C-alpha cells in the first residue's frame, strides 16, 4: 500500500455511496483510512448502518465514524427548505409491481445487517485529529452533504493546510436534480459546501454534468450477476433500483441507465483519466435561500472578482470507469476463489 493514495471518505450511504466505498476498499491504489457518515440520502442512523454493512460485507478493516445528523443552517428556516426532501420528485404513492415505493435509495442496502460497530469518536473530531496528525498527504472525498468537513474546518481551520486534496461529488453546471438550479449534496447543506470551497484547499468538483456521462445499464447488471459475489450482486441490485427510479424521475439520455455519482468521484483518485473536460473556475454556492439556493455558481470569466478555487469536471470517460468497477469486482472474485 506504500504508493496508495490515503483517502477519507465522507458518505451519506446511499446506494451510489456504497459503490464508492466498495471501490475504495477493493482498489490497491487507495489506502482507505476511514469512512465518515453524514445525513443526506437518509437519516444518520441509516447512512451509518449502510456504511457498516458495506465494510462488513467486504470484510474490510476500515473504521466508521458517525458524523452530523443534519445540515449546519439550511433547515433552520422552515420556509427555506420546508418539507421538500430534495429527493427529486420521489412520490411515496408511486409503487412498482412489487408494491415498493420507487426511490433512488432504499432505507437499507441489500446487504446483511451489520454486526460490526461504529467508532465511539464523532466523525468531526476524528477528522480534525487525523488531519492535524498527518503529513498533509490525505485526500478527503465527500460524497454527501459536506457538513462534517465544514464543521471540522470551523473547529480547527489549520486542517485546511493539512488536506492534500478534496474531490467531492456534488454540484451542477447545466445539470440539476434537487431543484431547477441545484444538486442534492450541495442543496442539502449549502453553507457547508461554501465553507469548504472558501478554505483554500485544492479541490475538484464532480458535478452531475460529469456523473450523468458515466451511466450503468441493465447489461451491466447481468454482467455483475455473472460475477456473482456478494459485492457484485449488491451492485447489481443497487443498479436495478437506480435504473427504475431514474427511468421514472430523471430519464437519462439513454433510457434504462443510471449514474453511479459517488463511485465516479472516488474513481478519479484511481485513474485521473476517468474525468474529462476539466476547468479551473471560481465556484461559490448560493446560500441566499432564493430560487437558486444551493446552486454551484461557476464564474468562467477571464477576470473573476474572487480568486479561482475549484477544478470542475464537465465530462467522464465511461469506458475507463466501467473497467475500474468491473476490474475490481472480478479481481475480488478471483481472490475469494483462491482463498
Ligand atoms: O445528487 C447525487 C448525490 O446525492 C449522490 O451523492 C447521491 O448519493 C446523493 O447523496
Ligand atoms: Ca451520496
Domain residue spans of the chain: 5-338
Cell numbers representing residue 211 in the block: 456523473
Residues, beta carbon < 5 Å, ion ligand 2 = 12, 14, 17, 143-144, 262
Average pLDDT of 34-62? 97
- Alpha-helix residue ranges (DSSP H) falling in 72-134: 78-81, 123-133
pTM: 0.96
1 has a pLDDT exceeding 60:
no
**Mutation pick for ligand 1 pocket among 188, 208, 261, 263 (CB with most ligand atoms within 8 Å):** 261
Q: What is the CA radius of gyration of the chain?
A: 19
DSSP state of 32: E
What would be the CATH architecture of the domain defined by 5-338?
Alpha-Beta Complex (3.90)
Q: How far is CA 231 from the centre of its chain?
A: 18
Cβ neighbours of residue 58 under 8 Å, at least 6 residues apart? 22, 25, 26, 231, 332
Residues 266-318 have pLDDT tens digits of 999 999 999 999 999 999 999 998 889 999 999 999 998 999 999 999 999 99
**Cα 220 from chain centre:** 21
- Written as nine digits, the cell of 264 is 465516479
Task: Write out pLDDT tens, residues 135-182.
Answer: 999 999 999 999 999 999 999 999 999 999 999 999 999 999 999 999
112 half-sphere exposure, CB direction, 13 A CA radius: 10
- Smallest Cα–Cα separation from 195: which of 320, 68, 302, 86? 68
Can 12 be counted among the known catalytic residues? yes
**Closest C-alpha to ligand 1, atom 2:** 184
Please state the atom number of ligand 1 nearest to the C-alpha of residue 177: 1
Q: Is the CB of 42 under 6 A from ligand 1?
A: no
Q: Exactly one of 12, 16, 17, 237 is catalytic; name it.
A: 12
Amino acid at each position: 500500500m506504500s504508493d496508495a493514495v490515503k483517502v477519507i471518505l465522507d458518505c451519506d450511504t446511499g446506494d451510489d455511496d456504497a459503490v464508492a466505498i466498495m471501490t475504495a476498499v477493493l482498489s490497491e491504489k487507495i489506502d482507505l483510512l476511514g469512512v465518515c457518515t453524514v445525513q443526506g440520502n437518509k437519516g444518520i442512523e441509516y447512512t451509518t448502518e449502510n456504511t457498516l454493512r458495506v465494510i462488513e460485507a467486504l470484510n474490510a478493516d476500515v473504521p466508521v465514524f458517525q458524523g452530523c445528523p443534519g445540515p449546519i443552517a439550511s433547515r433552520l428556516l422552515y420556509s427555506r427548505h420546508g418539507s421538500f426532501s430534495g429527493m427529486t420528485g420521489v412520490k411515496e404513492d408511486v409503487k412498482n409491481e412489487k408494491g415498493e415505493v420507487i426511490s433512488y435509495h432504499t432505507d437499507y442496502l441489500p446487504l446483511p445487517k451489520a454486526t460490526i460497530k461504529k467508532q465511539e469518536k464523532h466523525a468531526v473530531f476524528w477528522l480534525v485529529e487525523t488531519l492535524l496528525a498527518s503529513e498533509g498527504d490525505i485526500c478527503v472525498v465527500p460524497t454527501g452533504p459536506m457538513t462534517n468537513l465544514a464543521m471540522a474546518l470551523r473547529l480547527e481551520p489549520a486542517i485546511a493546510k493539512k488536506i492534500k486534496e478534496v474531490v467531492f461529488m456534488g454540484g451542477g453546471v447545466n445539470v440539476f436534480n434537487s431543484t431547477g438550479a441545484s444538486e442534492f449534496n450541495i442543496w442539502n447543506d449549502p453553507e457547508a459546501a461554501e465553507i469548504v470551497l472558501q478554505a483554500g484547499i485544492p479541490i475538484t468538483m464532480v458535478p452531475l454534468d460529469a456523473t450523468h456521462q458515466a451511466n450503468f445499464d441493465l447489461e451491466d447488471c447481468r454482467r455483475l450477476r455473472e460475477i456473482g459475489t456478494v459485492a457484485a450482486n449488491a451492485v447489481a441490485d443497487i443498479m436495478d433500483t437506480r435504473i427504475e427510479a431514474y427511468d421514472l424521475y430523471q430519464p437519462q439520455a439513454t433510457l434504462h441507465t443510471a449514474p453511479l455519482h459517488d463511485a465516479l468521484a472516488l474513481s478519479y483518485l484511481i485513474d485521473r483519466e476517468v474525468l474529462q473536460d476539466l476547468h479551473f473556475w471560481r465556484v461559490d454556492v448560493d446560500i441566499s435561500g432564493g430560487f437558486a439556493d444551493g446552486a454551484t455558481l461557476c464564474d468562467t470569466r477571464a477576470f473573476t472578482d474572487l480568486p479561482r478555487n475549484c477544478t470542475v469536471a464537465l465530462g467522464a470517460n465511461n469506458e475507463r470507469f466501467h473497467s475500474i468497477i468491473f476490474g475490481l469486482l472480478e479481481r475480488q472474485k478471483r481472490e475469494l476463489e483462491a482463498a
